[in-house]
Structure 1
Amino acid sequence: MNFRRFAIYHLPEGPLGDFGAAWLGWDARGVKAADRPAVAGLPDTAEALTDVPRRYGFHATLKAPFRLAEGHSVDDLILRCGLVCDHLSPFLLDLRLSLDWGFVALRPHAQPPALHALEQALVTRLDDLRAPLTAAERDRRRPDALPPQARAHLDHWGYPFVLDLFNYHLTLSGGLDQDRATALVAALAPVVKPLIAAPMEVRAVSLVGEDAEGRMHRIEDFPLRARTTSST
């Protein structure tokens, strides 16, 4: 398949990953539509609540979607991802259900150094494979509304919320008004609680490609192979 953009995601595995994919209705790991689970007390249909994030699947962005630079191929990207991940260590994240700026998501209570090292390496060491933003792509990020540091990151790295502004999150909704967002948190909490009772291991990242309809497909996983004496 020809993909128009690529990204590096963390795609959770196990019961949490299965629930997230089903909740959003698109399984980027399995590359298929997913049957949505029954969740009581929703403030709207699951389809309406997740319309925007559905096409991306249940994921955390580590390097935001980008077009390949001229002269480079997906094989170059696969090779480079493997080399980067060979020198990075797995780690644990203790997750919580959160509501920020109208978006419901799972976020870590704290971001360990190993997470920052992973994101920084993927953002910086793959960037020569990224085509520069077009004027239209830059404008879609509304640069004039961004803080100066975020705007500087947008111009240098192609995405505003990287490095010192990076926040790991697993999105569970589109942007919602306060009442619907609060009601969604209440509805999801009893379903999600047992899935995040134990810390989640981040042991690999995934290269994904965006199809013509905007849906993300897992292309290849890259284990974090470096040995570590601590999981956090």
Structure 2
Amino acid sequence: MTEALPRYALYYAPAADSALWRFGSATLGYDAVTGADIDFAVPLGCEGLDWPEVTAEPRRYGFHATLKAPFELAPGRNEGALRAFARNYVAGRPPVRLTGLSVNALGRFIALTPSEPSEELQRFAFDIVQAFEPFRAPLSEADLARRLQSPLTPAHRAYLEAYGYPYVGDAFRFHMTLTGSLPEEQVAPIKAALTTTYAQTVPAGSALIDRVAIFKQESRSSRFVLLDNIPLG
């Protein structure tokens, strides 16, 4: 079986020297800048859990919020062209300020989400989805089948067909994942523990979406690593 091509994704990833990046990376035990494992910052009260297992799924992707979901490059496109386009595109976009981020449960996983809705952020994310669409190869049959295993509304299916990902446009929800899917009884205590750790390590106040990152996954069995993190404006 032929190995799949590399995949790329457009993410929001905080600056590598920020408290937010250190919090997220230490929670996952992985630094996507270096591509290396780092010591876990296990939240107080969660010492008895298998924390590497709790965070195994998001660790594959690195700490981030998805703007354009992972994709293989379209025929005739290459990494250099993608990076050049991103630099030019991002240079003309202003940052997006949020009132803040907070730890929340999204179903059975825990993530950082905006403290208040932001129409500006919704537009910003969908603009990126559309602008980078020429670089995306069509989904393979296997990837399409995997997506269709999830229950999708007609609108989600239309987005999947158009953009290779169902949760864009009005279905987009900005989130920075901190755990994998949890047993129901663990959701509330882990959320509370991460809320405390977040408050203790990341300064309170507004959050600035001030950059767009390109992440790369060499093969489906490898983790994503940071390729570029380009400041907006």
**What is the CA–CA distance in structure 2 between the aligned matches of 1:63 and 1:144, rounded to whole Å?**
19
Q: Summarize the Cα distance change of 1:152–1:143 in structure 2 as closer, same or farther, 3 Å threshold.
A: farther
Which among 10, 21, 24 is matched to residue 20 of structure 1? 24
1:198 Cα deviation (Å)?
1.5
Which string of whole-angstrom CA distances, capped at 9 and with x for unpartnered residues, describes residues 85-107 of structure 1? 12211122211110121010110
Q: What is the Cα deviation at residue 3 of structure 1? A: 6.6
The residue aligned with 2:194 is: 188
Cα distance in 2, alignment partners of residues 9 and 3 from structure 1: 19
- Which of the numbers 217, 229, 233 marks the counterpart of 1:221? 229
Aligned partner of 1:16: which letter?
L
SS in 1 for 2:56: coil
Residue 143 (structure 2) aligns with: 137
Counting matched residue pairs gives 224
Which residue of 156, 161, 167 corresponds with 2:173? 167
Deviates more, 1:116-125 or 1:193-202: 193-202
Q: 1:100 aligns with which of 102, 106, 109?
A: 106
Q: Aligned pair in 2 of structure 1 residues 95, 196: CA closer, same or farther (>3 Å)? A: farther
CA RMSD, Structure 1 to Structure 2 (Å): 1.7
**Is 1:45–2:50 an aligned residue pair?**
yes
Distance 1:86 1:139 in 2: 36
Post-superposition, which runs of at least 4 consecutive aligned residues in structure 1 deviate over 3 A? none
Check 1:196–1:97 CA distance in 2 against 1; reply closer, same or farther (3 A cut): farther
8 Å contact kept, 2:90–2:231 = yes
TM-score calculated relative to the size of structure 1: 0.91
- Ranges in structure 1 where 5+ consecutive residues have no aligned partner: 226-232
**Percent of paired sites with the same residue:** 33
For normalisation by structure 2, the TM-score amounts to 0.90
Report the counterpart of residue 95 of structure 2 in structure 1.
Answer: 90
Gaps of 5+ in 2: none
Q: What letter matches 1:170 in structure 2?
A: M
Structure 1 residue 201 displacement after superposition? 1.5
